[in-house]
Amino acid sequence: GLDRVGGSMGQVVDNGIALRSQMVADMMHDSLRADVYGALHAGAGATGQQKKKLREEAKGHGVLLISSIDDAARAVGDPQIRGLLTRVRPQLENYVAISEQMVALALVDYVGAMDRLPHFVETFERLEQEMEQIADAIQGDSARSRRAGNGAVQFSRTVIVAVCLLAAALLL
């Protein structure tokens, strides 16, 4: 009984870590989109320092996106969820590369970047749906673990009460 409670609560904690990492990845997914739009706004007229900052921010957001997905995959216990995280990683790597390319292009060729923007937006939106499905899967697994832990607690209570009643009956 208590071992089941401990296992369930450990799984909830691991899923919490995974969900937090997935949420950071989701924020970086959004940050890269903002980086692209920021570069489009700045355009070729940006100073050298501004261009450098925009490229560095996109690079940093991409690195954090990938490392956060990797952290989530390491933390989650459910093999199906780990599979979802593993399968989305190459798509995220592609999105990071496209984002960095879009930032670089927007800073030298606004028209060329605008021509490629629909593909970028499509990639963003497709990943947005997949990231949401992953978050839902992690939350669902946490809820199942919590219910299993609650069931184990109830079973343990029942056993304790039954043992106490049996002991009391034997003493009388």
What is the spatial distance between Cα 8 and Cα 147, in angstroms, rounded to a whole number?
8
What is the spatial distance between Cα 8 and Cα 75, in angstroms, rounded to a whole number?
14
**Tokens representing 83?**
């599979």
For the chain, report the end-to-end CA distance as a whole number of angstroms.
28
The position carrying tokens 């996109």 is 58
pLDDT for the residue numbered 9: 58
What is the spatial distance between Cα 35 and Cα 132, in angstroms, rounded to a whole number?
21
* Alpha carbon distances (Å) from 1 to 4, 108, 114, 144: 5, 64, 60, 16
pLDDT for the residue numbered 155: 65
pLDDT for the residue numbered 128: 95
pLDDT for the residue numbered 108: 95
The closest alpha carbon to 141, from 87, 64, 83, belongs to 83
pLDDT for the residue numbered 84: 94
Instruction: Tell me the mean pLDDT per 10 residues along the chain, length 172.
Output: 56 78 95 98 92 97 98 92 95 98 97 97 96 91 66 65 77 79
Contact 120, 102 (CB under 8 A): yes
The position carrying tokens 């839902």 is 136
* Alpha carbon distances (Å) from 59 to 72, 92, 98, 105, 128: 20, 13, 11, 14, 19
